[in-house]
Amino acid sequence: MSQSDLLRPNLPEQGSIEHISRQEARIPVPEAFAAQANVTPGQYAEWYRESIESPETFWDARAKDFHWFQPYHRVLDWQPPFAQWFVGGQTNLSYNALDRHVDAGRGDKRALVWEGEEGEVREYTYAQLLDEVSLTAAALTRLGVKKGDRVTLYLPMIPEAVMAMLACTRIGAPHTVVFGGFAAGAIADRMVAAGSEFVITADIGQRKGEPLPLKSVVDEAIKLAEEQGQAVRGVLVVRHTGSDVTMQPGRDHWWHEARTDEREDALPLDSEHPLFILYTSGSTGKPKGILHTTAGYMIGAALSTYAALDLKDHDLFWCTADVGWITGHTYSTYGPLLLGQTTFMYEGAHNYPHWGRFWDMIGRHGITILYTAPTAIRSFMRHGDDTPAEYDLSSLRLLGSVGEPINPQAWHWYHRVIGAERCPVVDTWWQTETGSIMLTTLPGAHPAEPGTAGVPMFGIDPVILNREGEEMQADEGGFLTLRQPWPSMLRTVYGDDERYAKTYFGEIDGVYFAGDGARRSEDGYVTVLGRVDDVLNVSGHRLSTAEVESALVAHPQVAEAAVVGKPDEMKGESIFAFVLPQEGQTPDPQELRQYVSDLIGKVARPDHIVVAPALPKTRSGKIMRRFLRQIAAGKSIEGDTSTLDDPSVLERLAATPVE
């Protein structure tokens, strides 16, 4: 993001701000919940104070729960903006998530319960999951994957995705998971950027009963990556549906054949050994490879799952996020397993084959904690109260929300209809970059305020600043920044320390700032107001406007494109594209949608397209997106239009049909 973006006075226009601007009455913690909560109000206060006043003492105490092959000699080395945690220690996340529990005699406990879209169920105990992961790690080693090699994962939500992630972390090969909704071009870009020579995929996935041809998309991605000079040495293919796929001899191996009876032990890894890279959208067209490292991420994932999601021994925890996103990393996979608890995973669509699918699974499996996204909650809400009422939801004891601001209406529906007003609702704010939850109400410690995320997690020191870096008054909107380093923070943008420093610590001097606006109440509750940069949040999926724009301008009939978010009741934001055709051309909006979908993936498909006669530009040629956002939202134009080269463009644009 450039300085001029920061200066954009557009905070009040972003996303769902209007929906959440009024202060809602707080909902007290239910007594029955408080009585059994992992963290009480007193403990929160004591831990929080210690975590801010003496972070090293606090985190040292938390780290004691884990297995260290070699103890660290220093908790934190902070050379802003570069942090190292648990310096000199050696550990292994896979070991701590699996072996540690089996060694402690908990091998028979269920680690993973999975349900496929057609209803098949698989369960793995900790002993079984450890076995699967050790076999997979050995297979990867035989394929030539070594410590430090980046492995690309393009997998559906199947147990093998969890096994593959843990197998990579077992041998110190950072994984880079690419969401199944991304197309070959996006996979190739990530493989090239990460220098990844190995891929793990499946033959075919399934969504809403339709097959997803994963292996052939990977074949195409490899071709594209190879054209950019990235050699690919091995592909491991899970036979999921048993469909015919082309296997390239020497390069492609079936998962079930590559795994023999050899098992691989967990490798002792430095605390700061790269754990995974996850590509996410920023303000430019090029996705950023967010690098997380071993020990700090591990401890942040575990502590937040324990404190904010209250996981315990009798729980069956379901985080509905796909492993292609950070939430699927930290809370579908690593957090619950690090705590030795049971995680539930579902392969398919939320409304397949009917709108009761989630509630049916909760009832049948006895799921106790549900962690999902506002976009899903809003779509269930639209289908009414009757469907959930048909199912037994009495096993639920806690509900969570993540990924985008939750509007109070959806919050109340979730609380009343799904949680029967018995379950606390936690609204958790965090980012790919932060690795774990940063702001929330702890379910047994803090009353919840619908539409407001809440208070900081341990070690998190949020401060709302203006563009000069001065602290805002209570209840005033500003930039949401974090002042202290924390263990699960990103360490860098993979291969680009300079971009890391500039993007995250360079906009407002010396503090972490990653694109959100917020305000804080007198008593410390933070309300997140949405992104203030050019990042869109579409159904909880993060996308950059620049990425969609560069796909559009790659089309031969498009000269220029400007993409903005349009507030959307269901999706949070929808993608609105203004497209300026090449001289004499009239591009077909439907074709443009398909084109973007083929280049980046279905997630980036523009919802609305205006084939524009011109774009509003300043005399120096900068597109004024502020006005485009107003037009997209169907609002009248507000603000100073005198800097525009030709202000009449706005009227012409507003009169152009939206397709």
Instruction: Point out which residues bind ligand WTA (CB under 6 A).
Output: 280, 325-327, 402-405, 427-432, 453, 515-516, 528, 531, 537, 542
Half-sphere exposure of 63 (CA within 13 A, CB side): 29
Amino acid at 251: R
CB-count burial class (<10 Å; 0-12, 13-18, 19+) for 27: middle
**Smallest distance, Å, CB 572 to ligand WTA?**
9
Amino acid at 77: D
Q: Read off the tokens for 645.
A: 């080269």
**Smallest distance, Å, CB 638 to ligand WTA?**
23
Give the residue closest to ligand WTA by C-beta: 432
Q: Which is nearer to ligand WTA, 273 or 542 (CB)?
A: 542
Using alpha carbons, list the distances in angstroms from residue 122 to 107, 345, 346, 371, 518: 17, 10, 10, 21, 42
Q: Which is nearer to ligand WTA, 19 or 259 (CB)?
A: 19
Q: What helix, strand, coil percent values describe the chain, rounded to 5?
A: 35, 25, 40
**Smallest distance, Å, CB 292 to ligand WTA?**
12
Q: Which is nearer to ligand WTA, 169 or 452 (CB)?
A: 452
Rounded CA-CA distance 463/510 in Å is: 12
Tell me which residue has tokens 């020497």: 250
**Smallest distance, Å, CB 528 to ligand WTA?**
4
Q: Which is nearer to ligand WTA, 323 or 579 (CB)?
A: 323
Q: Which is nearer to ligand WTA, 198 or 413 (CB)?
A: 413
**Smallest distance, Å, CB 535 to ligand WTA?**
7
Which residues touch 36 (CB under 8 Å, ≥6 apart)?
312, 444
Q: Which is nearer to ligand WTA, 132 or 404 (CB)?
A: 404
**Smallest distance, Å, CB 48 to ligand WTA?**
19
Q: Which is nearer to ligand WTA, 271 or 432 (CB)?
A: 432
- CA 611 from centroid of its chain's CA atoms: 32
Contact 643, 619 (CB under 8 A): yes
**Smallest distance, Å, CB 38 to ligand WTA?**
20
Q: Which is nearer to ligand WTA, 107 or 180 (CB)?
A: 180
Q: Which is nearer to ligand WTA, 356 or 462 (CB)?
A: 462
Closest C-alpha to 603, from 640, 548, 648: 548
Closest C-alpha to 541, from 380, 442, 404: 404
E strands of 67-120, at which residues? 74-79, 82-87, 90-91, 110-115
Q: State the alpha helices, DSSP H only, in 54-94.
A: 55-63, 93-94
**Smallest distance, Å, CB 330 to ligand WTA?**
8
**Smallest distance, Å, CB 278 to ligand WTA?**
9
Closest C-alpha to 629, from 555, 559, 577: 577
